[in-house]
Structure 1
Amino acid sequence: MLLTNKRALKHRAMFRFKCLVRTHHGARDESYGCCMQQQDEQGRLGVYLSKNLPKAASRAFVDNLREISPRILPISELLRFMVVSLVRKMSKTQTSSEAGGGTKPVINFKTGVDHFCLHAGGKSEIDGVKLSLGLSEYDIEPSRMTLHRFGNRSASSLWYVLGYMEAKKRLKKGYRVLMKSFGAGFKCNSCVWEVVRDLDLGDANVWKDCVEGYPPVSMANPFMEKIGWINQEFDPDTFKIPE
């Protein structure tokens, strides 16, 4: 991606950068050590993932959302969330049938964002963010299709996800895209881009040879029977925003 702050080139721009929030928990030992590159007993270099990874990811995710929400959501949505949270807190002593206390207040990020460009690091990660933000299958389709077609490309997967939206002609002038990623550190980064012109380039990017076949009729994984146990090690509920 080529970035510039020269106003003379704004007619060539595709997006306008709006804001960035970077959450880094490297000062916490369990967060720092949950994802590291190191050698195993045979001296082979690889990436070590500890059992603390879901907990560290959840903490960074929540802290990041808490900071970026006031920057991208309208005042009306923030006030609604505050009122619902206050009412729910006051009614905790009553039963769910009397006060409706069983409903958990959730911020509606769609009031300030049109599309969600999520880190395609894994199925459980995508499912967890979907649950936390209350997103639909349409919202996470670009991330899920990127994981299906290209696998986990680490931080660069975000540009594959954005490319999918462009290839599907979903990005129109004025739309805002929330981009969210996770990484070692442990860290969670979020930024917002505004589309400055209709992007109807169609198949003129990395998806050009296959975008017409996405989403596929079936997302069944032929290797699930052999390696499906790996999903049991990572609970998507760990990404849920705590009550």
Structure 2
Amino acid sequence: MSMSSMLFFFLAQPKSSFLSIVTAFLNIEIFFKSNHIFSPFLWCCLIASISTFYLKKRSKKVYLVDFACHKPLPSSICSKELFIHYLINSGVFKDESINFQRKIIDRSGFSDKTYLPEDSLKIPPIICTLNAEKKETESVIYAAIDELLLKTKMKVEDIDILITNCCIFSPSPSLSAMIVNHYKLKDQVLCYNLSGMGCSAGLIAIDLAKHLLEVHQNSYALVVSTENLNSGGYKGNNKSMLITNCLFRLGGAAILLSNISSDSRRSKYHLKHMVRTHTGSQDSCYNSVIQKEDETNKIRGIALSKDLMSSAGLALKENITTLGKYVLPLSQQLKFASSFVVKKYFNKNMKVYTPDFKLCFEHFCIHTGGKAVQDEMQKVLGLSDWQIEPSRMTLYRFGNTSSSSVWYALAYCEAKGRIRKGDRIWQLAFGSGFKCNTAVWCALRNVVPIEEINPWSDEVHEFPVDV
């Protein structure tokens, strides 16, 4: 083997397997012995080759530099009384439908300060146009991104990856293209737009960003999560479709992720685990939350079926079973495994042991799907009132903001001064399909509320309240 061919071999070798490197090393040992003058240089090539191979194969850490949650203007505040006033005077809903929605809103766990798009409450109702839908979404996502850029002092030209998610509103060009055009992002930016993936799409977007950051070195990823209420509102009288009118509220979040090692010093969190569960292969789960026309075949809405809670329970069980392998102490895993074996082979009436996830996390940011969902989650996971508080207060103050709700809950923890270095945070979200998705973060530093731009900052002293 000539000297030049050997140099080429070692420089090209990082893309091959480690075994072939070792084999090559053994094959050239004879050459080392007979060419002593070149041995130091060749040894350097070998070391550089192995080092490069190791660095390329090692998975990159993903850091959450910072995030921002949009707080709409006071003119968008919709009290319960104002919401009922709109229903009565809209001329759209029957008395039975108005009374049904009144009961839902009374039991929703909402305050009188949640937000709706101004156009959606006008009397008489205006026809929902594409321009109105764009205006709503642009006002939310641009405000969130502007705040994030201010907090992080980022330049838009440094953004390498852009991921947007909105379930109902999917215009062409896409939301990601709207952002590229508005902020004049560079031509090489990688853009992805997720639609139709429900309230858990925000964590799906984080997972997608994680996989992209593991491939694209020294990159920044911007994730933007929102929902469009103008395009999702239901103007009919089918009870299963009226519920979403009462639960969803205006909001959105922008998140900046990085895989640059030096960013660990300024980032807030490190992404530890992502677990995604999809039970859509079962018809009952797939149909538990579905967009369709009502019985008139003219009016479109999102129908919630009676199987929704059982679908959520099944998806949650599958998700935490997988998550437990990564985060639970060995003693908890053994208790769960032993109870599962006993139930399956010896006593079918025995209840399988529910692991204590409170041993794994200091903070719980659970999707604000609704008060009933929160009650069930608190019961199943054995959470204290303090642990479920971020989710309850988010539902109370901002309502169900769909895929961005887990970020409002995390912002609440920060505003309360609860986040300390080393704390573990569990974000958990449900979505149509049916899906249950999990993100686990580790705090890299103390988060000092007085230093934060936060949607809760000017009123966090008023919370918690009794809901």
Alignment TM-score, normalising by the size of structure 1: 0.79
Q: 1:89-108, aligned counterparts within 5 Å?
A: 105-108=353-356
CA distance in 1 between counterparts of 2:434 and 2:350 reads: 33
* Equivalent residue, structure 1, for 2:369: 121
The residue number in structure 2 matching 1:229 is none
- Per-residue CA shift, 1:2-34, capped at 9, x if unaligned? 111111222121000001110011222221121
Residues 149-168 of structure 1 mapped to structure 2, 5 A cutoff: 149-168=397-416
1:211 aligns with 2:460: yes
What corresponds to 1:182 in structure 2?
Answer: 430
Structure-1 residue corresponding to 2:382: 134
Q: Which amino acid counterpart does residue 49 of structure 1 have in structure 2?
A: L
The verdict on how the C-alpha distance between 1:87 and 1:118 changes in structure 2, with shifts beyond 3 A counting, is: same
Go from structure 1 to structure 2 and tell me whether the alpha carbon gap of 1:62 and 1:103 turns closer, same or farther (over 3 Å shift): closer
Of 307, 324, 329, 1:69 maps to 324
Cα drift, residue 38 of structure 1: 2.3
Change (3 A) 1:183 1:6: same
Q: Secondary structure at the match of 2:258?
A: coil
Deviates more, 1:187-196 or 1:50-59: 50-59
Q: Which runs of 5+ in 2 are unaligned?
A: 1-254
Which of 199, 209, 212 is the aligned partner of 2:447? 199
- For residues 24 and 113 of structure 1, what CA distance do their matches in structure 2 show? 24
Residue type at the aligned position of 2:427:
M
User: How has the CA–CA distance of structure 1 residues 22 and 104 changed in structure 2, closer, same or farther, with 3 Å as cutoff?
Assistant: closer
Q: What is residue 275 of structure 2 aligned with on the other side?
A: 21
CA offset digits 1:171-195 (Å, max 9, x no partner): 1000101111000000000110000
Partner of 1:237: none
Please list the CA deviations of residues 34-90 of structure 1 after superposition, one character each: whole Å capped at 9, or x if unmatched. Answer: 111223327333211112212211111111111111111111222244456667889
Identical-residue share of aligned pairs (%): 40
- Residues 104 and 70 of structure 1: CA distance in aligned 2, closer, same or farther (over 3 Å): closer
Larger RCO, structures 1/2 (Cα 8 Å, 6+ apart): 1
The answer on whether the counterparts of 1:77 and 1:111 sit within 8 Å (CA) in structure 2 is no
1:98 aligns to what?
A: none
Aligned residue in 2 for 1:58: 313
Contact 1:30 / 1:56 at 8 angstroms: preserved in 2?
yes
Bigger proportion of residues as helix: 2
Instruction: Show the counterpart of 1:3.
Output: 257
Q: CA deviation at 1:120?
A: 0.8
Aligned mates of 2:289, 2:460 — CA distance in 1: 33
Which range moved further: 26-35 or 121-130?
Answer: 26-35
Check whether the contact 1:167–1:204 (CA below 8 A) recurs between aligned residues: no
CA RMSD of aligned residues (A): 2.3
User: Residue 215 of structure 1 aligns to a residue in which SS?
Assistant: coil
Residue 304 of structure 2: aligned partner: 49
Unaligned runs of 5+ in 1: 94-100, 220-243
Q: How many residues align?
A: 211
Deviations 1:115-174 (Å, cap 9, x if unpaired)? 111011101101111111111001000000000000111121000000000000111000
Q: Cα distance 1:83–1:31, how it changes in 2: closer, same or farther (>3 A)?
A: closer
Tell me if the contact between 1:167 and 1:205 (Cα under 8 Å) persists in the aligned partners.
Answer: yes
The structure with the larger Rg is 2
